[in-house]
Structure 1
Amino acid sequence: MAAKKSAPQEAPGIDIGISEKDRRKIADGLSHFLADSYTLYLKTHNFHWNVTGPMFNTLHAMFMTQYNEQWTALDEIAERIRALGFRAPGSYAEFGKLSSIAEEKAPDQLDWREMVRQLVLGNEAVCRTARKVIKAAEAAGDDPTADLATQRLQVHEKYAWMLRSLLE
């Protein structure tokens, strides 16, 4: 039997000026955002370990910079879900159900160009998810969530651009 995707579970007695319905919608969007962000973090870290070829030094260092920054951001996203009164997803199974970033070939089957291409696509996916969160947060007057997602959007747009430039 397939596991059912459940809605975020609300903590009791939350009154922060955002309705329960809006907080639930935002928390759901943040859960997808967290899953995409975690999946991209894991893929970036994996490629850091497994990159080979003439771009090794450059990409090994670039990937490390990116995954370290991404790791810190994961905590901020999860804590925002908690501040809204909901449980943050935190397992591979949950992230797999929520993420829009697909797993592709194993790193030992990829050259550096394909790794970079996949990270461009992953960063772009995180950007699209961030935009959805921003829209929901702005509609509910949730400035902290909109600010967090906007800051993450800026980082991931920059990463996508930097990685894309390597392929030109």
Structure 2
Amino acid sequence: MTLSHQPGFTAIGAIITREVLPRLRHAQKLPLRLSCIGTAGYKGLDGANEFDRTVIIGQSASVEEAVILASQRVAHGDIGISTDDTLRFRPRVIVIQDGDLGLVLAGEVRAGIIVWQQPVASDAEARRIVTEASRLRGLAFAASGRADHRAARDHRYRASLLEARLVDPYWRETAADLLRLPQAA
């Protein structure tokens, strides 16, 4: 006996592969975690006494919600690390990561807005960025050895901005599509 494939019939294996498994994989990567990399320091002290700090902003169920939440927090200037009024925090980079800590999207904070970084388009481009970021981190290490803390921090920051483009391959298409929307600009 032969099974005939009718146009309206879809095999259960095809349904599972095409619809169920991608949804399960996506659900495992949620919720998304938002954080902010910045510089902290006490009022009245020079830049040599500043230090890098990462602050957790919150969680979100989707990339779109995460972008909105991050933009609102940056626009309102309510990202801080302490209730201490003498401790300042300057946000520099916003990072959205999935449940596996894969990079979903990242952007530079400038004048109260987030300039989201376009994800890499290929693995070759990702390798070039890793090479350049490693070079900058080497310069930061050398500057730290000379006790030039400001230069070291600037090199690490530039490396972080490059690495902001190293979006996990699972999220590259989603991030690129989101950045094509007018409201994301």
* Higher RCO structure (Cα 8 Å, ≥6 apart): 1
- Of structures 1 and 2, the larger Rg is shown by 2
Larger fraction in strand? 2
Question: Normalising to structure 2: TM-score of the pair?
Answer: 0.26
Question: Normalising to structure 1: TM-score of the pair?
Answer: 0.29
Larger fraction in helix? 1
